[in-house]
Chains A and B, each alone.
Chain A
């Protein structure tokens, strides 16, 4: 603690920036742990629920219980688009208009793609901050260290003494910046890699679910 308090103003500023990076990084890590765990857990539950029911209207009513599952959101968007299309199709047939079935499938597909993109953004939100912290914090720390060592050498030049007792405290103070930079960067990089892997798994699940949903809609349309 004394080392931090005795450091120069530039080193103190660097330390403040690093502490900010560390604070937000850890907040993101905790937040993401919770969000991604909930997403994975509820997606598994939703898939079980989805395959156990054979009617979309029943699934549509039960979707409200899976607010954190990206797959449930995908279903909700796709189903909503399907209902819209069916309403318009019913209105069109009444008015004597012809609507192509494939056009409806295309709408649902686009709705699913849009929902997938939105969910991917939601899941990946704040991860860029972790990546930034992981890549820049060590350099910021290094900058603080270099500045501190420059300061220490300047002091040596002024006092004219190069003994270890004069050099060591300055270098020790300066090295604190690198230590804190690494302390901020290491968990950030680890968290980023971990969450990116989990998000990729969820994106894969969302793609698979979209394909399954479109297949089911296609079969329903052809079965008419």
Chain B
């Protein structure tokens, strides 16, 4: 006795209480929809064609002799231009400023005091006794005053020069692009040591669950060949945290090939700081 499909369905249906099949279908629908929601299928939208992105790292170009530079170089350019224009005119204004400053000081001190005191006193007496010796002493005093002024001018000039020199240390090249702040070379870019450190940090993986102590620091000496291959590595100072030291070793081993030629065999002493690396 073969049963038709309808009879089979009716038999199956009769095994369950009325309404149960509907609930089963509802359950199936929920089990299909929930994973769909979870995987984001319902939010599916046709993928948009992304425009090609070209990345050129001009800032971190490693060079042998990096020059100094500031990220705000372009902004400072405008500022310096603005500053230099007014500087040209105020320069003569600045010069007379220190001059009148020392001048009035000795004048009111020297003139008013000796005049009321010295004039009335020597007038009655020196008139009859004006001699060559007095004239010489007066000339000497005037010379001493001139020398003093000259000294003061020199000191002011030296101070200005010193300030200029300080500015030169921060940024020896006015129009310098981004580079190393402490650099004094003549090439645009960063030092090889900084590049190596950044490259190793890129390869570095460290789980945040391995510890809360961020004050970990390790110093390594790394020797790279002229082709940019790691030749020798040596730890100078361990951090004291085995997990951190191991992670550094792994990162160094991963970055055995720098992907750049250094030109000559170079030795770097690199300090790895956990706090710095996690930022």
Contacts and interface: CB of A to CB of B under 8 A. Distances in A.
Interface residues of A, number: 16
11 contacts: A1-B35, A23-B31, A24-B27, A26-B26, A26-B31, A27-B24, A27-B26, A31-B23, A34-B19, A35-B17, A125-B17
Given A19-B31, A34-B19, A125-B17, A24 B39 contact: no
Contact of A31 (B17, B28, B35): B17
Interface in A1-56: 1, 19, 22-28, 30-31, 34-35
Nearest to B30: A26
B23 A22 contact: no
Closest 8 pairs between A and B when the two form their complex, measured CB to CB: A26-B27, A27-B24, A27-B27, A30-B23, A31-B23, A27-B23, A31-B20, A23-B27
SS of A interface (majority) = helix
Interface in B9-24: 17, 19-20, 23-24
Contacts of B23: 27-28, 30-31, 34
Contacts of B27: 23-27, 30
A219 B257 CA distance: 102
Interface string A101-129: 00000000000000000000010011000
Looking at B24, B26, B27, which has the most chain A CB atoms within 10 Å of its CB? B27
B17 A24 contact: no
A28 B26 CA distance: 11
SS of B interface (majority) = helix
A35 B20 CA distance: 10
Contacts of A27: 20, 23-24, 26-27
Interface of B: 17, 19-20, 23-24, 26-28, 30-31, 35, 39
Contacts of B35: 1
Contacts of A122: 17
Given A19-B31, A23-B27, A26-B31, A1 B20 contact: no
Contacts of B19: 31, 34-35
A23 B17 contact: no
B66 to A, nearest CB: 37
A175 B114 CA distance: 102
Looking at B19, B23, B30, B35, which has the most chain A CB atoms within 10 Å of its CB? B23
Interface in A64-104: none
Contacts of B39: 1
A24 B31 CA distance: 11
Looking at B19, B20, B39, which has the most chain A CB atoms within 10 Å of its CB? B20
Contacts of A28: 20, 23
A127 to B, nearest CB: 13
A74 to B, nearest CB: 19
B203 to A, nearest CB: 15
A22 B17 contact: no
A54 B35 CA distance: 57
Nearest to B17: A125
A25 B24 CA distance: 9
A30 B39 CA distance: 25
